[in-house]
Chains A and B, each alone.
Chain A
């Protein structure tokens, strides 16, 4: 057992032999875990490994089938999250539970209102929030409207909300998934100041770099079981990844030298407005050649989404032009662009990528259900659709009971594999991929990366947009940095350094000033 600094470890939370089964799957199988006072305990595992199930039981959202949970040595049986909160447990969910039109203070006191007679006592709430914020370095403006805040600020509000309820055991579910690299660093600072003042933290993630940066101890889950515990000092990214996946993981993406051909996808002075009518793509020029991967790095919100959607015909352009295979395709319909041989792996899986209520088979033909192969005289050929689906499911290693399973029952990684299977099949000329591996586990990431490189090697022009700098750097042949809607610079991936790209991303200039 690891010792917390300065004395014997005092466990604040002990989970012993927890088992939880859902119909058809044992989500947690005899899982034990100890959280010591002042400790950051990382819970690491692939999607579907049972991390969320475990913490949901600790937070009273599920009840375990077997096993015990002890808080400060005392066995507890939570009926709901209210009981857990009463015991000083707080949770920050991956999807924030905030009301956008309320102010920060209103959100924080919600459900725990500070009142004076029949009225809210916002002044005293504000004072309490300010003192919490100061104590833990969580700068929040109590009077700001939550909807106006950045994602990082909203997360701080969630933390203050938990602290406001006197939580001293904090469960953070994938807290960094939504943050920019800069915000992640701030966040780590906050986490350390929390533990420094005696709070204990369970930190769920599947990002190995972060685990090594913040964890005191690490518990690795795989398929519902604890497959290893480690201290941060004794672990490496490689050893953790192997534990998580259960086999050796190749970290560097193996790829041959690119052999670029003729230009396939070109934009000139492209301008695109976002949903509010603000131009976020402000004159974007790029040329992607056959057989190369052009990676677009950049802090999110610099026009990535609008750029991708305009190129794929999903969003009208405000100016400039898009050319595919020498043909102007500006403002073509998505269907016409698809039929030209352009595939698109969308950024937002659940909004654009799949129809959640449809089967895997129907999702696999979502953009080609009307082809003669699948539809004769307007009638769907279910046999052909299922046969195609069966083939793709095998080819892309989608883990599913069958092609007629509803896609919503699959894990995020498997859903993404379905999308990738659909998009990466057929006679492609160009591929536009946005955040292809967001929220996925190591195994799925590796698989999807390999598929993208295979496509490049077959002569497809790939435009890759990702918020993960590692992904951009390991996959791309050339890297462009998108800053305020235009390319701030283009570098060869072979010569690129994190520092140079980071500077471009942050300031739009490699000299670091603007």
Chain B
């Protein structure tokens, strides 16, 4: 009797669990499209690999081992992923305010060069790490924030669209830092003792502690960037500022009517976006390189766009998407070594992921996913001219 009742209660609990898991999954439904997009890209990638005469399973097995085959591989994958979190947040945050920040590439450079400059200041070596490390990270964050804030200001003062201005600012900072780091006459930021163009090495006190001596090095910048994701999630979901950002993103007219200072929100969101990229760059300068080289951040900002959209601009999902992105890049060399499949195939797969997320109708059709939310980068309908 008693046993039967217990069993019943147990079944009831289990059913409750299942229901909870299902509702949770339902809530995350928008992410299904992303998951299926990844799956589909690997299938198409597999076809591509077989066309060049390699067994796709062999190639993918090597890729997988390169990604997570052992402790070093996992650490390397993590390390490779960390900066992507920042560059993806740079897109995601602005996106919530209805802005399309495609300037993470430049904001990384601006943050990186600022961090490297501050980190190499002579008095930095006199400071204890507990001061020097935050300082270099803050410097990079500020550098990114300023470079991200400029298009925000331009947008509010002149109406210049942020897509155009961030592209232009990308070029500006790219060639600017390249000159600063290359030039010998005059010497701007170049380390004159180095044969390759790079800045002076940062002070030892400003180096983020290492976690695993992997390739690349896994350092404590991981915690900073993962932590920031949760902070951003909280800000967007629970704070008054997050409410303003979301309101401006969804309906700037109603925001203006309701008394929200729309221009301030736009500038603040762009600056915050740039700050995340700047933080990512500073953490790389401090934890991985120890100096600034323009090539370090090549494509990192643009990958951030893909990652953010894959995560459907959800800050916590960005962590997972960045991990996938970084570890694929980290695992690709082993695939090339063992299966003789070019690293570029991984790049192609990644491009397809983005394509399938963008053209989500394909995925929805193939996997019978109901339309639930709007794809983040389909143009929102233009309001009727009233």
A residues with CB within 8 A of B? 95, 100, 312, 314, 333-335, 338-339, 344, 346, 348, 350-358, 362, 366-367, 369-370, 375, 378-380, 382
Which B residues are in CB contact (< 8 Å) with A380? 238-240, 242-243
Q: Can you name 16 A-B pairs with beta carbons within 8 Å?
A: A334-B259, A339-B259, A346-B257, A350-B383, A351-B254, A352-B256, A355-B254, A356-B251, A366-B254, A366-B258, A367-B257, A367-B258, A378-B239, A379-B238, A379-B239, A380-B238
What's the minimum C-beta distance from B101 to chain A, rounded to whole angstroms?
Answer: 21
Check A379–B240 contact: CB distance below 8 A.
Answer: yes
Check A351–B385 contact: CB distance below 8 A.
Answer: no
B residues with CB within 8 A of A? 238-243, 247, 250-251, 253-261, 383-386
Known: A95-B384, A351-B386, A356-B251. A362 touches B257 (CB 8 A): no
Check A335–B259 contact: CB distance below 8 A.
Answer: yes
Check A353–B384 contact: CB distance below 8 A.
Answer: no
Known: A95-B384, A358-B250. A334 touches B240 (CB 8 A): no
A333, A348, A357: which contacts B259 (Cβ < 8 A)?
Answer: A333
Check A354–B254 contact: CB distance below 8 A.
Answer: yes
What CA separation (Å) do A339 and B259 show in the bound complex? 9
Q: Is the interface of A mostly helix, strand, loop or mixed?
A: loop
Which A residues are in CB contact (< 8 Å) with B251? 351, 354-356
Which B residues are in CB contact (< 8 Å) with A314? 256-257
Check B261–A370 contact: CB distance below 8 A.
Answer: no
What's the minimum C-beta distance from B385 to chain A, rounded to whole angstroms?
Answer: 7
What CA separation (Å) do A367 and B383 show in the bound complex? 22
What CA separation (Å) do A314 and B261 show in the bound complex? 11
Check A348–B250 contact: CB distance below 8 A.
Answer: no
What's the minimum C-beta distance from B51 to chain A, rounded to whole angstroms?
Answer: 40
Q: Taking CB as reference atom, which chain B residue is nearest A354?
A: B254
Which A residues are in CB contact (< 8 Å) with B240? 369-370, 375, 378-380
Which A residues are in CB contact (< 8 Å) with B259? 333-335, 338-339, 367
What's the minimum C-beta distance from B309 to chain A, rounded to whole angstroms?
Answer: 19
Check A334–B256 contact: CB distance below 8 A.
Answer: yes
Further 14 A-B residue pairs, CB within 8 A, beyond A350-B383, A355-B255, A380-B243: A100-B385, A333-B259, A334-B259, A335-B261, A346-B257, A351-B251, A352-B254, A352-B257, A366-B254, A367-B257, A369-B243, A370-B240, A379-B238, A380-B239
**Which of the listed residues B243, B250, B258, B261 has the most CB atoms from chain A within 10 Å of its own CB?**
B258
Check B253–A366 contact: CB distance below 8 A.
Answer: no
What's the minimum C-beta distance from B30 to chain A, rounded to whole angstroms?
Answer: 14
Q: Taking CB as reference atom, which chain A residue is nearest B260?
A: A335
What's the minimum C-beta distance from B120 to chain A, rounded to whole angstroms?
Answer: 36
Which A residues are in CB contact (< 8 Å) with B256? 314, 334, 352
Q: Taking CB as reference atom, which chain A residue is nearest B385?
A: A100
Q: Taking CB as reference atom, which chain B residue is nearest A371?
A: B240
Known: A335-B259, A335-B261. A352 touches B385 (CB 8 A): no
Which A residues are in CB contact (< 8 Å) with B383? 350-351
What CA separation (Å) do A382 and B243 show in the bound complex? 12
What's the minimum C-beta distance from A418 to chain B, rounded to whole angstroms?
Answer: 12
Check A356–B238 contact: CB distance below 8 A.
Answer: no
Which B residues are in CB contact (< 8 Å) with A353? 254, 257
Which B residues are in CB contact (< 8 Å) with A357? 250
Which B residues are in CB contact (< 8 Å) with A379? 238-240
What CA separation (Å) do A346 and B241 show in the bound complex? 24
Known: A348-B386, A379-B240. A356 touches B247 (CB 8 A): no
Which B residues are in CB contact (< 8 Å) with A370? 240
Which B residues are in CB contact (< 8 Å) with A335? 259-261
Q: Taking CB as reference atom, which chain A residue is nearest B255?
A: A355
Which A residues are in CB contact (< 8 Å) with B239? 378-380
What CA separation (Å) do A366 and B254 show in the bound complex? 9
Known: A367-B258, A369-B240, A378-B241. A355 touches B247 (CB 8 A): yes
Which A residues are in CB contact (< 8 Å) with B247? 355, 358, 366
What CA separation (Å) do A456 and B257 show in the bound complex? 23
What's the minimum C-beta distance from A5 to chain B, rounded to whole angstroms?
Answer: 40
Q: Taking CB as reference atom, which chain B residue is nearest A363?
A: B254
Ordered nearest first, which 7 A-B pairs have the shortest CB separation? Answer: A335-B259, A352-B257, A367-B258, A366-B258, A375-B240, A334-B259, A355-B251
What's the minimum C-beta distance from B351 to chain A, rounded to whole angstroms?
Answer: 30
Which B residues are in CB contact (< 8 Å) with A95? 384
Check B384–A334 contact: CB distance below 8 A.
Answer: no
